[in-house]
Amino acid sequence: MHIFRINFLLIILLSSSDMLASYFPANSWEISSPEQQQVRSDNVNALINLAFLDDSTQAVVVVKNGKIISEKYAEGYDKNSHGTSWSMAKSYYAALIGISIDKGEISSLDDKVGKYLDYFNDERSEITIRDLLDMSSGLDFPKDEHETMFFQEDHLKYAMNVGVEKSAGLKFEYNNVNSMLLGDILIAATGKKADTLLKERILDHIGVKDYKLWKDENGNVLTYCCVDMSARDYSKIGLLFSRNGNWDGKQLISKKYVDETFQVVWDITPERFTELKRGYSLHWWVSAYEEDFKIFNTSGKFGQFTFVDRENDIVVTKITKYSQQDSGDIQKWGIMKYLRWAGVENAIKLGRILIENGAVESGSDVITPFTDEEGESKEFNVRYGDFISAIENLSCNCYPLERFN
């Protein structure tokens, strides 16, 4: 009788866990207390406080079992305020490759890129789609990681003309050209541009309606950067991956592809803004990969992240301050296109000065995603490792570490 009661209780607990994990937000999110989702409030508060030690933080949203258990916004921002993704977008557009494989439009990650792009039938002919997604294409890799491409009128033309520096598959190099080429592969495979595919194959299904998918002046989708939406909506994309590509019973991305994404290909990547050792796989970063704790995340240049703890169904999004524009989603550089000759960092500094001084009007003379210095993470980068530990605390029910307070 005693054994029966124990087994019965286990069945109830497992069924409750399944019920918690089955919830999906529709047009609005359900708000829950941390304790209702078996999370300690003090651990959630420690995580939020840690993020807001950095004045650049615009929003943090914490999701457990598909429900928001905490969120906080900087003064002047709210749940509807857009943030810009920068390179978080790489992970979204990479998912479209997986969907095209699921649909048979692309045969395999190991297809040669030249099968889809005829201009790759040269010294680049051995490069595969997997090489692009794992950042190991061997394409020419300058110090600026081809961020200069961002200041071009035609980003795709720039990417098409980048040659080979080394053999593919040998070395991780975070190269923006790899990601920009994904859009051209998708057009060849599906006949549709990447922004249309992202809308039709992901965003429409998960209830994301208010967004911008940026394009260059020639109409090329910027598949290496630049999606604008709210922190809540970024969290929906994170939840899709936390739920193995399934959204409320519809398999948008195959579990097989999500499983392949959430592995470690490069276990140690060159240091970028944090001393924490991180990995990389199929356009996702790996910030923790232990037997009992794994964190994969999207990542943007100025401190934008969505962290996914798939085993514990936890999603945490943190974005930085961003001035919304109502002027469209197509880049227009005007006179500022000449700043690219100054180098990336100098172009960013000069652009900020011109806009802040009123010499150039953002949204009129210049239309582009723009993060001013107020939205550039600094303190958060120093505490990045602590933040990962704080996410781990959400599922272990440990006491928050004193350094988070």
Dist CA 245 CA 242 (whole Å): 7
Tokens of 361: 């009007």
What pLDDT, on a 0 to 100 scale, did the predictor assign at position 17?
41
Q: pLDDT tens digits for 226-279?
A: 999 999 999 999 999 999 999 999 999 999 999 999 999 999 999 988 999 999
- pTM given for the model: 0.91
Low-confidence ranges of the chain (pLDDT < 70): 1-21, 324-325, 338, 340-342, 344, 401-405
Own/partner pairs for 191-197, CB < 8 Å, 24+ apart? 193/221, 194/93, 194/96, 194/221, 194/223, 195/221, 197/96, 197/99
Dist CA 260 CA 241 (whole Å): 12
Residue 95 to residues 25, 282, 327, 374, Cα–Cα distance (Å): 20, 9, 28, 31
End-to-end CA distance of the chain: 47
Dist CA 113 CA 136 (whole Å): 13
SS3 of residue 293 by DSSP: strand
Query: What DSSP assignment string belongs to 120-177?
Result: GSSTTTT-BHHHHHTT---B---TTTTGGGGG-S-HHHHHHT--BSS-TTS-----HH
Q: Which domains does the chain carry? A: 28-328+369-404 (3.40.710.10)
Cα 99 to the center of its chain, rounded Å: 17
- Name 245's Cβ contacts closer than 8 Å, sequence gap at least 6: 98, 251, 252, 253, 254, 255, 257, 258
Cα 120 to the center of its chain, rounded Å: 27
Q: pLDDT tens digits for 206-238?
A: 999 999 999 999 999 999 999 999 999 999 999
- Name 109's Cβ contacts closer than 8 Å, sequence gap at least 6: 97, 101, 128, 129, 130, 133, 260, 282
Question: C-alpha dihedral over 345, 55, 75, 297, to 10 degrees?
Answer: 80
Question: C-alpha dihedral over 209, 212, 218, 224, to 10 degrees?
Answer: -110
Q: pLDDT tens digits for 64-80?
A: 999 999 999 999 999 99
Dist CA 219 CA 80 (whole Å): 27
Question: How many other CB atoms sit within 10 Å of the CB of residue 19?
Answer: 10
SS3 of residue 216 by DSSP: coil
What pLDDT, on a 0 to 100 scale, did the predictor assign at position 239?
98
Amino acid in the structure at residue 95: A
